[in-house]
Structure 1
Amino acid sequence: MRWFLTVLGVIFGVAVFLFLDYSLPSKQTVRITDAYNRLTEIGANAIFFASPDTGTVQNAQGQRDVRFINTARPNGKPYVYRNEDTGWIWPPYFKYDSSNLQAEATDLESSAADPQWVSITSYGWRVSWASIYPNAISIKPVSGPDERPFNWGAQIILAVLGAILFLIWRMWNQFRERTIDPAVRSADQAWDRLDARADAARDHVLREAGEARGWLRRRWDRLRGR
Protein backbone atom coordinates (compact mmCIF):
# COMPACT_ATOMS: atom_id res chain seq x y z
CA MET A 1 0.00 0.00 0.00
CA ARG A 2 2.86 2.36 0.83
CA TRP A 3 4.47 1.96 -2.59
CA PHE A 4 1.12 2.71 -4.24
CA LEU A 5 0.74 5.94 -2.26
CA THR A 6 4.35 6.87 -3.10
CA VAL A 7 3.77 6.35 -6.83
CA LEU A 8 0.49 8.28 -6.60
CA GLY A 9 2.27 11.14 -4.82
CA VAL A 10 5.03 11.25 -7.46
CA ILE A 11 2.49 11.29 -10.30
CA PHE A 12 0.54 14.07 -8.58
CA GLY A 13 3.72 16.08 -8.01
CA VAL A 14 4.79 15.74 -11.66
CA ALA A 15 1.29 16.73 -12.83
CA VAL A 16 1.33 19.85 -10.62
CA PHE A 17 4.81 20.78 -11.86
CA LEU A 18 3.80 20.43 -15.53
CA PHE A 19 0.61 22.38 -14.91
CA LEU A 20 2.48 25.28 -13.31
CA ASP A 21 5.29 25.14 -15.88
CA TYR A 22 2.73 25.54 -18.68
CA SER A 23 0.47 28.10 -17.01
CA LEU A 24 2.90 30.46 -15.28
CA PRO A 25 4.33 33.40 -17.23
CA SER A 26 7.91 33.21 -18.46
CA LYS A 27 10.21 35.86 -19.93
CA GLN A 28 12.74 35.51 -22.74
CA THR A 29 15.03 38.10 -24.25
CA VAL A 30 14.84 37.76 -28.04
CA ARG A 31 15.02 39.70 -31.32
CA ILE A 32 11.83 39.83 -33.42
CA THR A 33 12.47 38.84 -37.02
CA ASP A 34 8.92 38.63 -38.38
CA ALA A 35 5.26 38.98 -37.39
CA TYR A 36 2.60 37.50 -39.65
CA ASN A 37 -0.69 35.59 -39.94
CA ARG A 38 -0.93 32.02 -41.18
CA LEU A 39 -3.71 29.49 -41.78
CA THR A 40 -2.87 26.78 -39.27
CA GLU A 41 -4.22 23.23 -39.10
CA ILE A 42 -5.80 22.64 -35.69
CA GLY A 43 -6.10 18.97 -34.82
CA ALA A 44 -5.05 16.86 -31.86
CA ASN A 45 -3.10 19.82 -30.46
CA ALA A 46 -6.23 22.00 -30.19
CA ILE A 47 -5.90 22.09 -26.39
CA PHE A 48 -2.74 24.19 -26.83
CA PHE A 49 -4.54 26.86 -28.91
CA ALA A 50 -7.17 29.42 -27.97
CA SER A 51 -10.68 28.24 -27.22
CA PRO A 52 -13.54 29.15 -29.62
CA ASP A 53 -15.00 31.04 -26.65
CA THR A 54 -12.45 33.80 -27.30
CA GLY A 55 -14.01 34.55 -30.69
CA THR A 56 -11.59 32.46 -32.71
CA VAL A 57 -12.89 31.57 -36.17
CA GLN A 58 -12.10 28.19 -37.67
CA ASN A 59 -13.09 27.04 -41.16
CA ALA A 60 -14.67 23.71 -42.14
CA GLN A 61 -11.25 22.23 -42.89
CA GLY A 62 -10.15 22.76 -39.29
CA GLN A 63 -7.86 25.66 -40.20
CA ARG A 64 -7.53 28.84 -38.17
CA ASP A 65 -5.97 32.20 -39.01
CA VAL A 66 -3.36 32.48 -36.26
CA ARG A 67 -0.95 35.33 -35.60
CA PHE A 68 2.69 34.30 -35.15
CA ILE A 69 5.81 36.12 -34.00
CA ASN A 70 9.16 34.79 -35.21
CA THR A 71 12.15 35.59 -33.00
CA ALA A 72 15.82 34.80 -32.61
CA ARG A 73 17.48 34.17 -29.25
CA PRO A 74 20.82 35.74 -28.29
CA ASN A 75 22.51 32.45 -29.25
CA GLY A 76 20.98 32.68 -32.74
CA LYS A 77 18.44 29.88 -32.33
CA PRO A 78 14.88 30.58 -33.56
CA TYR A 79 11.90 30.67 -31.25
CA VAL A 80 8.30 31.06 -32.48
CA TYR A 81 5.33 32.44 -30.53
CA ARG A 82 1.64 32.44 -31.33
CA ASN A 83 -0.40 35.52 -30.52
CA GLU A 84 -4.00 34.69 -29.56
CA ASP A 85 -6.52 36.19 -27.18
CA THR A 86 -7.14 34.15 -24.04
CA GLY A 87 -10.45 35.67 -22.99
CA TRP A 88 -11.72 34.44 -19.63
CA ILE A 89 -10.56 30.85 -20.05
CA TRP A 90 -7.60 29.21 -18.35
CA PRO A 91 -4.96 30.39 -17.84
CA PRO A 92 -6.58 33.65 -16.65
CA TYR A 93 -4.49 36.26 -18.47
CA PHE A 94 -7.64 38.02 -19.75
CA LYS A 95 -5.85 38.91 -22.99
CA TYR A 96 -7.93 40.70 -25.64
CA ASP A 97 -5.25 42.82 -27.32
CA SER A 98 -3.61 40.35 -29.70
CA SER A 99 -4.07 42.81 -32.61
CA ASN A 100 -2.24 45.57 -30.71
CA LEU A 101 0.47 43.13 -29.65
CA GLN A 102 0.96 42.09 -33.27
CA ALA A 103 1.37 45.74 -34.24
CA GLU A 104 3.97 46.20 -31.49
CA ALA A 105 5.84 43.12 -32.68
CA THR A 106 5.84 44.39 -36.27
CA ASP A 107 7.14 47.77 -35.14
CA LEU A 108 9.98 46.13 -33.15
CA GLU A 109 11.25 43.90 -35.96
CA SER A 110 15.01 44.17 -36.48
CA SER A 111 17.89 42.54 -38.31
CA ALA A 112 21.00 40.82 -36.97
CA ALA A 113 23.08 43.75 -38.21
CA ASP A 114 21.05 46.29 -36.23
CA PRO A 115 19.27 44.30 -33.48
CA GLN A 116 16.49 45.57 -31.25
CA TRP A 117 16.25 43.27 -28.25
CA VAL A 118 12.94 42.76 -26.45
CA SER A 119 11.66 40.76 -23.51
CA ILE A 120 8.56 38.72 -24.42
CA THR A 121 6.32 37.48 -21.63
CA SER A 122 4.45 34.32 -22.56
CA TYR A 123 2.98 31.11 -21.23
CA GLY A 124 3.03 27.60 -22.64
CA TRP A 125 5.58 25.35 -24.33
CA ARG A 126 7.32 25.23 -27.67
CA VAL A 127 7.13 21.67 -29.02
CA SER A 128 8.20 21.68 -32.68
CA TRP A 129 7.13 18.15 -33.64
CA ALA A 130 3.61 18.71 -32.24
CA SER A 131 3.24 22.29 -33.62
CA ILE A 132 2.74 23.70 -30.12
CA TYR A 133 3.67 27.35 -29.52
CA PRO A 134 3.80 29.53 -26.42
CA ASN A 135 1.29 32.38 -26.40
CA ALA A 136 2.87 35.84 -26.23
CA ILE A 137 1.32 38.13 -23.60
CA SER A 138 3.42 41.29 -23.73
CA ILE A 139 6.54 42.76 -25.34
CA LYS A 140 8.98 45.16 -23.69
CA PRO A 141 12.15 46.60 -25.28
CA VAL A 142 15.37 45.94 -23.34
CA SER A 143 18.83 47.43 -23.61
CA GLY A 144 20.64 44.32 -24.82
CA PRO A 145 20.73 40.52 -25.19
CA ASP A 146 22.14 40.04 -21.69
CA GLU A 147 19.31 41.82 -19.92
CA ARG A 148 16.97 39.43 -18.11
CA PRO A 149 14.01 41.22 -16.49
CA PHE A 150 12.91 39.66 -13.22
CA ASN A 151 9.82 37.49 -13.59
CA TRP A 152 7.69 39.17 -10.93
CA GLY A 153 4.44 37.60 -12.14
CA ALA A 154 5.55 33.99 -11.70
CA GLN A 155 7.28 34.75 -8.39
CA ILE A 156 4.21 36.46 -6.93
CA ILE A 157 1.90 33.63 -8.04
CA LEU A 158 4.25 31.02 -6.56
CA ALA A 159 4.46 33.02 -3.31
CA VAL A 160 0.66 33.21 -3.09
CA LEU A 161 0.33 29.47 -3.81
CA GLY A 162 2.98 28.74 -1.19
CA ALA A 163 1.12 30.86 1.37
CA ILE A 164 -2.16 29.08 0.57
CA LEU A 165 -0.50 25.66 0.90
CA PHE A 166 1.08 26.72 4.22
CA LEU A 167 -2.31 27.93 5.46
CA ILE A 168 -3.95 24.64 4.43
CA TRP A 169 -1.13 22.70 6.14
CA ARG A 170 -1.59 24.71 9.36
CA MET A 171 -5.36 24.24 9.29
CA TRP A 172 -4.92 20.50 8.73
CA ASN A 173 -2.45 20.25 11.63
CA GLN A 174 -4.82 22.12 13.95
CA PHE A 175 -7.74 19.96 12.86
CA ARG A 176 -5.65 16.82 13.42
CA GLU A 177 -4.45 17.98 16.85
CA ARG A 178 -7.93 19.00 17.99
CA THR A 179 -10.04 16.27 16.41
CA ILE A 180 -8.19 13.31 14.94
CA ASP A 181 -5.41 12.81 17.53
CA PRO A 182 -7.81 12.87 20.55
CA ALA A 183 -10.12 10.45 18.73
CA VAL A 184 -7.18 8.13 17.99
CA ARG A 185 -5.97 8.33 21.61
CA SER A 186 -9.49 7.64 22.85
CA ALA A 187 -9.77 4.68 20.49
CA ASP A 188 -6.37 3.39 21.65
CA GLN A 189 -7.38 3.73 25.29
CA ALA A 190 -10.69 1.97 24.63
CA TRP A 191 -8.84 -0.79 22.82
CA ASP A 192 -6.38 -1.10 25.71
CA ARG A 193 -9.27 -1.36 28.20
CA LEU A 194 -10.98 -3.93 26.02
CA ASP A 195 -7.72 -5.85 25.69
CA ALA A 196 -7.23 -5.73 29.47
CA ARG A 197 -10.76 -7.01 30.04
CA ALA A 198 -10.19 -9.76 27.50
CA ASP A 199 -6.97 -10.76 29.28
CA ALA A 200 -8.75 -10.72 32.65
CA ALA A 201 -11.63 -12.78 31.27
CA ARG A 202 -9.17 -15.26 29.74
CA ASP A 203 -7.27 -15.55 33.01
CA HIS A 204 -10.55 -16.04 34.88
CA VAL A 205 -11.66 -18.72 32.43
CA LEU A 206 -8.29 -20.48 32.66
CA ARG A 207 -8.40 -20.30 36.45
CA GLU A 208 -11.94 -21.64 36.57
CA ALA A 209 -11.02 -24.36 34.09
CA GLY A 210 -8.02 -25.29 36.23
CA GLU A 211 -10.13 -25.44 39.34
CA ALA A 212 -12.74 -27.53 37.50
CA ARG A 213 -10.06 -29.95 36.32
CA GLY A 214 -8.71 -30.19 39.85
CA TRP A 215 -12.18 -30.89 41.27
CA LEU A 216 -12.84 -33.56 38.59
CA ARG A 217 -9.47 -35.16 39.29
CA ARG A 218 -10.18 -35.30 43.01
CA ARG A 219 -13.62 -36.81 42.40
CA TRP A 220 -12.14 -39.34 40.03
CA ASP A 221 -9.49 -40.27 42.57
CA ARG A 222 -12.14 -40.79 45.24
CA LEU A 223 -14.16 -43.00 42.97
CA ARG A 224 -11.10 -45.11 42.31
CA GLY A 225 -10.46 -45.34 46.01
CA ARG A 226 -7.30 -43.37 46.12
Structure 2
Amino acid sequence: MRYIGWTILISFWVFFAAFLHYTLPQRDIVRIVRVFEERQDLNDWTRMFWSRPDEQSDGLINRDVQFLQTVQANGRPMVYRNEDTGWSWPPYFKFDTSNLFTEAADAVSTRAAPEWYVLTHYGWRNEFLTIFPNAISIRPVDGPEASKGIPWINIIVLTLIAAFFYAIWVRWRRFRRARIDPKLEELQDNWEAAGDAVSAKRGRIRRWLDTWKAK
Protein backbone atom coordinates (compact mmCIF):
# COMPACT_ATOMS: atom_id res chain seq x y z
CA MET A 1 0.00 0.00 0.00
CA ARG A 2 2.85 2.38 0.77
CA TYR A 3 4.29 1.89 -2.74
CA ILE A 4 0.87 2.56 -4.28
CA GLY A 5 0.60 5.79 -2.30
CA TRP A 6 4.05 6.95 -3.39
CA THR A 7 3.25 6.06 -7.02
CA ILE A 8 0.05 8.11 -6.93
CA LEU A 9 1.83 11.04 -5.26
CA ILE A 10 4.73 11.04 -7.74
CA SER A 11 2.35 10.70 -10.71
CA PHE A 12 0.31 13.65 -9.45
CA TRP A 13 3.35 15.92 -9.18
CA VAL A 14 4.69 14.82 -12.59
CA PHE A 15 1.37 15.60 -14.31
CA PHE A 16 1.04 18.85 -12.38
CA ALA A 17 4.55 19.95 -13.37
CA ALA A 18 3.83 19.06 -17.02
CA PHE A 19 0.59 21.05 -16.84
CA LEU A 20 2.43 24.11 -15.51
CA HIS A 21 5.22 23.76 -18.07
CA TYR A 22 2.68 23.65 -20.90
CA THR A 23 0.51 26.48 -19.58
CA LEU A 24 2.92 29.07 -18.19
CA PRO A 25 4.47 31.56 -20.64
CA GLN A 26 7.95 30.92 -22.00
CA ARG A 27 10.27 33.20 -23.97
CA ASP A 28 12.56 32.43 -26.88
CA ILE A 29 14.92 34.72 -28.78
CA VAL A 30 14.26 34.06 -32.45
CA ARG A 31 14.71 35.37 -35.97
CA ILE A 32 11.47 35.23 -37.96
CA VAL A 33 12.03 33.81 -41.43
CA ARG A 34 8.48 33.27 -42.73
CA VAL A 35 4.81 33.62 -41.84
CA PHE A 36 2.12 31.60 -43.58
CA GLU A 37 -1.34 30.09 -43.21
CA GLU A 38 -2.08 26.38 -43.61
CA ARG A 39 -5.08 24.10 -43.14
CA GLN A 40 -4.60 21.66 -40.29
CA ASP A 41 -6.52 18.49 -39.46
CA LEU A 42 -7.76 18.39 -35.87
CA ASN A 43 -7.39 14.81 -34.66
CA ASP A 44 -9.53 13.73 -31.73
CA TRP A 45 -6.60 12.85 -29.45
CA THR A 46 -4.50 15.93 -30.31
CA ARG A 47 -7.39 18.43 -30.34
CA MET A 48 -6.51 19.47 -26.77
CA PHE A 49 -3.26 21.00 -28.03
CA TRP A 50 -5.10 23.42 -30.33
CA SER A 51 -6.91 26.55 -29.21
CA ARG A 52 -10.66 26.67 -28.76
CA PRO A 53 -11.44 30.36 -29.30
CA ASP A 54 -15.16 29.69 -29.84
CA GLU A 55 -17.75 26.91 -29.58
CA GLN A 56 -17.72 26.31 -33.34
CA SER A 57 -14.13 25.03 -33.11
CA ASP A 58 -15.31 21.93 -31.21
CA GLY A 59 -17.15 20.58 -34.25
CA LEU A 60 -14.54 21.34 -36.89
CA ILE A 61 -12.47 18.56 -38.45
CA ASN A 62 -9.89 20.99 -39.83
CA ARG A 63 -9.31 24.72 -40.01
CA ASP A 64 -6.85 27.31 -41.29
CA VAL A 65 -4.05 28.08 -38.82
CA GLN A 66 -1.44 30.81 -39.03
CA PHE A 67 2.19 29.82 -38.42
CA LEU A 68 5.43 31.66 -37.69
CA GLN A 69 8.62 29.99 -38.90
CA THR A 70 11.64 31.07 -36.90
CA VAL A 71 15.26 30.25 -36.17
CA GLN A 72 16.37 30.36 -32.55
CA ALA A 73 19.55 31.98 -31.30
CA ASN A 74 21.27 28.56 -31.21
CA GLY A 75 20.44 27.98 -34.90
CA ARG A 76 17.63 25.47 -34.34
CA PRO A 77 14.39 25.96 -36.28
CA MET A 78 11.16 26.44 -34.35
CA VAL A 79 7.63 26.78 -35.69
CA TYR A 80 4.87 28.47 -33.71
CA ARG A 81 1.16 28.63 -34.36
CA ASN A 82 -0.72 31.91 -34.04
CA GLU A 83 -4.22 31.34 -32.66
CA ASP A 84 -6.59 33.30 -30.47
CA THR A 85 -7.26 31.77 -27.07
CA GLY A 86 -10.38 33.85 -26.49
CA TRP A 87 -11.97 33.15 -23.12
CA SER A 88 -10.88 29.51 -23.04
CA TRP A 89 -7.92 27.87 -21.33
CA PRO A 90 -5.13 28.89 -20.93
CA PRO A 91 -6.39 32.31 -19.79
CA TYR A 92 -4.24 34.52 -22.01
CA PHE A 93 -7.31 36.27 -23.43
CA LYS A 94 -5.60 36.58 -26.79
CA PHE A 95 -7.80 38.21 -29.44
CA ASP A 96 -5.13 39.91 -31.60
CA THR A 97 -4.05 37.05 -33.88
CA SER A 98 -4.27 39.25 -36.98
CA ASN A 99 -2.20 42.01 -35.38
CA LEU A 100 0.49 39.57 -34.28
CA PHE A 101 0.55 38.01 -37.74
CA THR A 102 1.10 41.47 -39.25
CA GLU A 103 3.86 42.30 -36.77
CA ALA A 104 5.60 38.98 -37.48
CA ALA A 105 5.33 39.50 -41.25
CA ASP A 106 6.90 42.93 -40.85
CA ALA A 107 9.69 41.41 -38.70
CA VAL A 108 10.88 38.82 -41.26
CA SER A 109 14.63 39.02 -41.78
CA THR A 110 17.41 37.12 -43.50
CA ARG A 111 20.54 35.42 -42.20
CA ALA A 112 22.65 38.16 -43.77
CA ALA A 113 20.75 40.92 -41.98
CA PRO A 114 19.13 39.28 -38.96
CA GLU A 115 16.59 40.96 -36.68
CA TRP A 116 16.04 39.32 -33.32
CA TYR A 117 12.86 39.20 -31.27
CA VAL A 118 11.77 37.83 -27.92
CA LEU A 119 8.78 35.65 -28.70
CA THR A 120 6.48 34.84 -25.78
CA HIS A 121 4.52 31.62 -26.12
CA TYR A 122 3.00 28.70 -24.28
CA GLY A 123 2.77 25.02 -25.19
CA TRP A 124 5.11 22.44 -26.66
CA ARG A 125 6.57 21.56 -30.05
CA ASN A 126 6.33 17.90 -30.99
CA GLU A 127 7.00 16.75 -34.56
CA PHE A 128 5.54 13.29 -34.00
CA LEU A 129 2.19 14.57 -32.71
CA THR A 130 2.26 17.66 -34.98
CA ILE A 131 1.64 20.10 -32.18
CA PHE A 132 3.01 23.63 -31.99
CA PRO A 133 3.44 26.21 -29.22
CA ASN A 134 1.11 29.18 -29.52
CA ALA A 135 2.78 32.57 -29.97
CA ILE A 136 1.46 35.31 -27.68
CA SER A 137 3.58 38.34 -28.48
CA ILE A 138 6.88 39.52 -29.94
CA ARG A 139 9.18 42.40 -29.10
CA PRO A 140 12.51 43.41 -30.71
CA VAL A 141 15.84 42.97 -28.93
CA ASP A 142 19.38 44.04 -29.77
CA GLY A 143 20.72 40.56 -30.54
CA PRO A 144 20.60 36.83 -29.84
CA GLU A 145 22.39 37.28 -26.51
CA ALA A 146 19.93 39.87 -25.20
CA SER A 147 18.06 39.33 -21.95
CA LYS A 148 14.65 37.71 -22.18
CA GLY A 149 13.41 39.71 -19.21
CA ILE A 150 12.23 38.66 -15.77
CA PRO A 151 9.37 36.11 -15.92
CA TRP A 152 7.16 37.95 -13.43
CA ILE A 153 4.01 35.99 -14.29
CA ASN A 154 5.73 32.65 -13.68
CA ILE A 155 7.21 33.89 -10.40
CA ILE A 156 3.84 35.16 -9.14
CA VAL A 157 1.91 32.04 -10.21
CA LEU A 158 4.46 29.61 -8.76
CA THR A 159 4.63 31.61 -5.52
CA LEU A 160 0.84 31.52 -5.15
CA ILE A 161 0.76 27.79 -5.87
CA ALA A 162 3.54 27.16 -3.33
CA ALA A 163 1.67 29.24 -0.73
CA PHE A 164 -1.54 27.33 -1.45
CA PHE A 165 0.02 23.90 -1.00
CA TYR A 166 1.96 25.08 2.07
CA ALA A 167 -1.30 26.29 3.65
CA ILE A 168 -2.91 22.92 2.95
CA TRP A 169 0.11 21.08 4.41
CA VAL A 170 0.05 23.21 7.60
CA ARG A 171 -3.67 22.63 8.10
CA TRP A 172 -3.24 18.91 7.46
CA ARG A 173 -0.50 18.71 10.11
CA ARG A 174 -2.69 20.54 12.62
CA PHE A 175 -5.65 18.27 11.84
CA ARG A 176 -3.48 15.17 12.14
CA ARG A 177 -2.02 16.24 15.47
CA ALA A 178 -5.44 17.16 16.86
CA ARG A 179 -7.57 14.32 15.51
CA ILE A 180 -5.65 11.47 13.90
CA ASP A 181 -2.55 11.08 16.10
CA PRO A 182 -4.55 10.80 19.37
CA LYS A 183 -6.73 8.10 17.82
CA LEU A 184 -3.68 6.22 16.58
CA GLU A 185 -2.05 6.45 20.01
CA GLU A 186 -5.26 5.23 21.61
CA LEU A 187 -5.43 2.28 19.23
CA GLN A 188 -1.78 1.50 19.90
CA ASP A 189 -2.32 1.63 23.67
CA ASN A 190 -5.36 -0.63 23.39
CA TRP A 191 -3.38 -3.04 21.22
CA GLU A 192 -0.51 -3.11 23.68
CA ALA A 193 -2.91 -3.54 26.60
CA ALA A 194 -4.60 -6.42 24.78
CA GLY A 195 -1.18 -7.95 24.10
CA ASP A 196 -0.21 -7.63 27.76
CA ALA A 197 -3.48 -9.26 28.80
CA VAL A 198 -2.89 -12.19 26.42
CA SER A 199 0.68 -12.57 27.67
CA ALA A 200 -0.51 -12.57 31.29
CA LYS A 201 -3.14 -15.18 30.52
CA ARG A 202 -0.58 -17.37 28.78
CA GLY A 203 1.69 -17.02 31.81
CA ARG A 204 -1.06 -18.21 34.16
CA ILE A 205 -1.83 -21.19 31.93
CA ARG A 206 1.88 -22.06 31.74
CA ARG A 207 2.21 -21.90 35.54
CA TRP A 208 -0.88 -24.08 35.93
CA LEU A 209 0.59 -26.64 33.55
CA ASP A 210 3.85 -26.52 35.46
CA THR A 211 2.01 -27.48 38.65
CA TRP A 212 0.78 -30.64 36.92
CA LYS A 213 4.29 -31.47 35.79
CA ALA A 214 5.50 -31.26 39.35
CA LYS A 215 2.95 -33.89 40.39
Number of residue pairs matched? 213
SS in 2 for 1:81: strand
| Residue in 1 that maps onto 2:189 | 189
Structure 1 residue 150: Cα displacement: 2.3
Structure 1 residue 151: Cα displacement: 2.0
| Residue in 2 that maps onto 1:69 | 68
Sequence identity percentage: 38
Q: Quick one: which amino acid aligns to residue 94 of structure 1?
A: F
| Residue in 1 that maps onto 2:115 | 116
The TM-score with structure 1 as length reference comes to: 0.82
Q: Which moved more, 1:107-116 or 1:175-184?
A: 107-116
1: CA distance, partners of 2:16 / 2:102? 35
Counterpart contact for 2:53–2:86, Cα < 8 Å: no
2: CA distance, partners of 1:55 / 1:84? 14
| Residue in 2 that maps onto 1:221 | none
Displaced runs of 4 or more, over 6 A: none
Q: Quick one: which amino acid aligns to residue 85 of structure 2?
A: T
| Residue in 2 that maps onto 1:160 | 160
SS in 2 for 1:130: coil
Structure 2: where are the runs of 5+ without partners?
none
SS in 2 for 1:129: coil
The TM-score with structure 2 as length reference comes to: 0.85
Structure 1 residue 133: Cα displacement: 0.3
Structure 1: where are the runs of 5+ without partners?
218-226
Q: 1:1-226 counterparts in 2 under 5 A?
A: 1-43=1-43, 44-51=45-52, 53=54, 56=57, 62-147=61-146, 148-207=148-207, 213=212
Q: Quick one: which amino acid aligns to residue 77 of structure 2?
A: P
SS in 1 for 2:29: strand
Counterpart contact for 1:68–1:83, Cα < 8 Å: yes
Structure 1 residue 31: Cα displacement: 1.4
1: CA distance, partners of 2:163 / 2:96? 32
Structure 1 residue 135: Cα displacement: 0.5
2: CA distance, partners of 1:64 / 1:197? 77
SS in 1 for 2:173: helix
Counterpart contact for 1:87–1:94, Cα < 8 Å: yes
Deviations 1:142-163 (A, max 9, x none): 2221112222222222222112
SS in 2 for 1:87: coil
Counterpart contact for 1:57–1:65, Cα < 8 Å: no
Q: Which moved more, 1:79-88 or 1:105-114?
A: 105-114
